Amino acid sequence: MPANTMKAIRLHEFGGPEVLRYDEVPIPEPKPGEVLIRVHAAGVNPPDWYRREGMPNVPPELRPPLSLPAIPGTDVSGVVEAAAADVDGLSAGDEVFGLLRFPSLEGSAYAEYVTAPASDLARKPAHIDHVHAAGVPMAGLTAWQFLIELGHEHPSPFQAARHRPMALGAETTVLINGAAGGVGHFAVQLAKWKRARVIAVASGTHESFLRELGADQFIDYTKSRPEEVAHDVDLVLDTVGGRDSSRFLRTLKRGGALYPVFFGDYDPEETAKLGVTISGTQVRSNGPQLAELGHLLDAGTLRVAIDSTFPLADARRAHERAARGHLQGKIVLTGA
């Protein structure tokens, strides 16, 4: 077993990237159903900076409890150091990756060690390294749960109806907005795996990258408005979402659907008149689904793009990179 302290990034107050502190803290101990992981890499995701900021844009009634000090982060890849006595199927030395404890913001992944429910984990694909594996969990599971299979019965905080992904096939046209980012680049590949026709929307610098991933059509949003170029689309996955998301409704054919990863304001009269639906969900930790993504990664059907890597101690610079936007793939923090 390791010594009883570790390095971790902690928040002692809410604010910009400068509030991320590199601290020495006790190594956590696994509770029943949990394992202790030696973290080799941790993925950086939007909820990490929402947590860092204190979630000022989230209405208080939807905001989870945010205690301080706190270790941010949810995505890890590493090696099991120890397992609770009741954990089956994982033991010391196993390489694993996972989205930890989400949608709670208690994943505590920006650290040298972390405890995790065994049910949140899957074995790391043998053919990819820890850095690439750490780029998968939140973004890959978001794409999977929106497009392929929800995989749980938890109600969404955003809608009453259960999200039911549209069946994708050779006759389906899918438009993906924000296609070069974490969720977007997995969504492009999963839609192509299902043989759909994919229209990728991103800035022009990402065109060759997205065509390599299989995009059939590319729209550079800096040169043309995608809602004026694309028509007769079955499904829009808007990974950007928010205020401007409703502009994509006019690209849809009747019976089509818009899946915003970040909900915006939509006019129910407009959606009814167009004969389209809006649906979404909130990604949740899911070890078995991650194992399915792992099989696709091992087979080479899916690949992980890494935008940039930073040592754990430089989490501030990683968050500054995220704030500049225009990512191609994922930002990952590296450990030992």
Q: How confident is the model at residue 128 (pLDDT cuts 50, 70, 90)?
A: very high
**What is the tens place of the pLDDT at every residue in 136-192?**
999 999 999 999 999 988 888 778 888 999 999 999 999 999 999 999 999 999 999
Mean pLDDT for the chain overall: 95
The most confident of 58-62, 106-110, 332-336, by mean pLDDT: 106-110
**What is the tens place of the pLDDT at every residue in 31-75?**
999 999 999 999 999 999 999 999 988 888 878 788 999 999 999
Closest by CA position to 252, among listed 224, 221, 227, 269? 227
Strand ranges (E), the chain: 5-11, 20-26, 34-44, 75-83, 95-99, 113-117, 121-123, 173-177, 197-202, 217-220, 233-238, 252-260, 277-278, 306-311, 330-334
Alpha-carbon distance 181 to 187, whole Å? 10
- Give the residue carrying structure tokens 């929800």: 150
Alpha-carbon distance 146 to 152, whole Å? 12
Kindly report the pTM of this predicted structure: 0.96
The answer, yes or no, to whether residue 249 has pLDDT greater than 90, is: yes
Alpha-carbon distance 220 to 208, whole Å? 12
- For position 42, what pLDDT does the model report? 98
**What is the tens place of the pLDDT at every residue in 257-295?**
999 998 877 888 999 999 999 999 999 999 999 999 999
Q: All domains of the chain, ordered by start, with CATH?
A: 5-138+286-334 (3.90.180.10), 155-278 (3.40.50.720)
